[in-house]
Amino acid sequence: MAADTSAPRIALGQFNPAVGDFTQNKEKIIDLARRAEANRAELLALPYGALTGHPLFDLPLFADFAGKTRQTIKDLAHELGSLGLGGLPVILGHSAPTVNRANTADVAESLYLIHDGSATEILPTDGIGTVKCAGWNIGVLPQTTMTERFITGNGLDLALVVGAVPFERNGPQRTAAALTQAAQVAGAPLAFVNLVGGQDDFVFAGGSSLFDANGKLTARAPLFVEDLSLIDVGQMAQIAPEEPQEAQVYRALTLALADYVAKNGFRSVVFGLSGGIDSALVAVLAADALGGSQTLGIGMPSPYSSQHSRQDAADLARRIGANYQEVPIKPAMSAFTDMMEMPGVAEENLQARIRGVLLMAASNVSGNLVLAPGNKSELAVGYSTIYGDAVGGFGPIKDLYKTEVWALARWRNSEAADRGEVPPIPESSITKPPSAELRPDQVDQDSLPEYAVLDPLLRAHLEERADRTELIAAGFPAETVDWVLRQVRISEWKRHQYAIGPTVTARSFDRNRRVPITNRWRNS
């Protein structure tokens, strides 16, 4: 138990840093400390990467980056002291340079205590850092190693997990279960403070929380927003309600997109609007992330585009308040096919590539970011045109299977209806048979298995690493399995060149997938 017999108050500072923006990150920490102190907190816990951003990968191996990190911690400690905030212990962590067993430069997790005007590294014993401050005996560890080295009870007043846990479907529930178990092992109250915000393909979820010594949740901050939770240990506090799965995914994607735009110095985005569901969802996400006025949709109909698709595109733009223009692509098609013979699939790809050229030109002219509309199903089987519909700096829905794209679109529309608003996505964009409209009467199912079959097959293969034998045993037709696995294999090079986008599963094409491009393995 804490030396202070009244319920000690801790502050969990869940916030959104920018990688390498030391000045801004430091100022935000000082602001949190000021608010924590004003609210009589006795400890301020900050997430992993608070000062530096996260993940840094190899940035700490550059001496000036590592030096600036060290200097900024010192400055932070000094400034907190000067501002009369030195009495508030602050705990944070980030990646710092080290030397590994092979005696080469490497990056390792490090944790720090800032107190009384100075910063001290918390050196771990058996993987756990122990600090004494303000009469407390606190065990501290980074979340990445939480499941490997549980804090075992040794008279701790508080176990503190300094987190940077990326979001994934059902991730917050799994994290909570792991934390409950950790608290029980520690036999002490356990605080978890998490990063929030988008950083390339990572979306950190927030949801900082406190568990009692029995592992019972006693406080939880909301997901996907910055927050300073002030919690009296031992008492129940506010528990942010759990949102439905679709709402969580939608907010994760919105935050990831908003942060990619802002942190890279863009203010607006541009995307193609075909009238199809993928570009519709991307457009609505963008409008929700940035405001409709900061988005530009371009309709680029070819002679194969249907009238209803053109109407759906324009209708969507109106509903979300996007800027909209239509540029028919026939003149460029004619110019190219006069220059070089392009029969069959070459002419289909030509249409997609002309659109890519137009989107990039629009981006060059106005400085906005091009969004790529690919979903996980089509990227998996290579059903997209590289340098065509694949152009863009960020792919907001690249980790959603096609069936999830529809589900999320429906959820967004029904959520709007619940609020008495006009649903943003035209119903026909959701209900019509999906088509690339690159030749007359084309539909996706000319080339692909039904998405109701394709998506579960892909999920099993990509996320559970189910192989041919297991997929067939699970009931997928052998012919379909062989076709899909071949497509996945031969499309690796295209995915390699695709934009990054937010990961919302345990394995996305941006994370936890490491396979060769040149690969002759097939089990058929």
For a second copy, the closer CB: 133 or 257:
257
For a second copy, the closer CB: 134 or 360:
360
Least distance between a second copy and beta carbon 107 (Å): 9
For a second copy, the closer CB: 38 or 490:
490
Least distance between a second copy and beta carbon 244 (Å): 29
Least distance between a second copy and beta carbon 249 (Å): 21
Least distance between a second copy and beta carbon 19 (Å): 5
Least distance between a second copy and beta carbon 103 (Å): 9
Q: Please choose, from the candidates 304, 255, 514, 308, the residue with its C-alpha nearest in 3D space to the C-alpha of residue 430.
A: 308
How many Å apart are CA 41 and CA 237, to the nearest integer? 14
Q: What angle, 0 to 180 degrees and rounded to 10, lies between the N-to-C axes of helices 451-464 and 478-490?
A: 60
For a second copy, the closer CB: 200 or 378:
200
Least distance between a second copy and beta carbon 392 (Å): 9
Residue type, 151: I
Q: Please choose, from the candidates 185, 137, 135, 183, the residue with its C-alpha nearest in 3D space to the C-alpha of residue 161.
A: 183
For a second copy, the closer CB: 419 or 465:
465
Kind and range of the H or E element at 465?
A: none
Q: Are residues 334 and 323 in contact, defined by beta-carbon separation less than 8 angstroms?
A: no
Least distance between a second copy and beta carbon 387 (Å): 5
For a second copy, the closer CB: 127 or 291:
127
Q: Are residues 229 and 208 in contact, defined by beta-carbon separation less than 8 angstroms?
A: yes
Q: Are residues 15 and 196 in contact, defined by beta-carbon separation less than 8 angstroms?
A: yes
DSSP character string of 63-98: HHHHHHHHHHHHHHHHHHHHTT-TTS-EEEEEEEEE
For a second copy, the closer CB: 132 or 496:
496
Contacts 24+ apart (CB under 8 A), 464-470: 467/523, 468/523, 468/524, 469/523
For a second copy, the closer CB: 65 or 406:
65
Residue 300 CB contacts under 8 Å (≥ 6 apart), including other chains: 272, 274, 326, 327, 328, 329, 354, 355, 358
446 three-state secondary structure? helix
Least distance between a second copy and beta carbon 513 (Å): 7
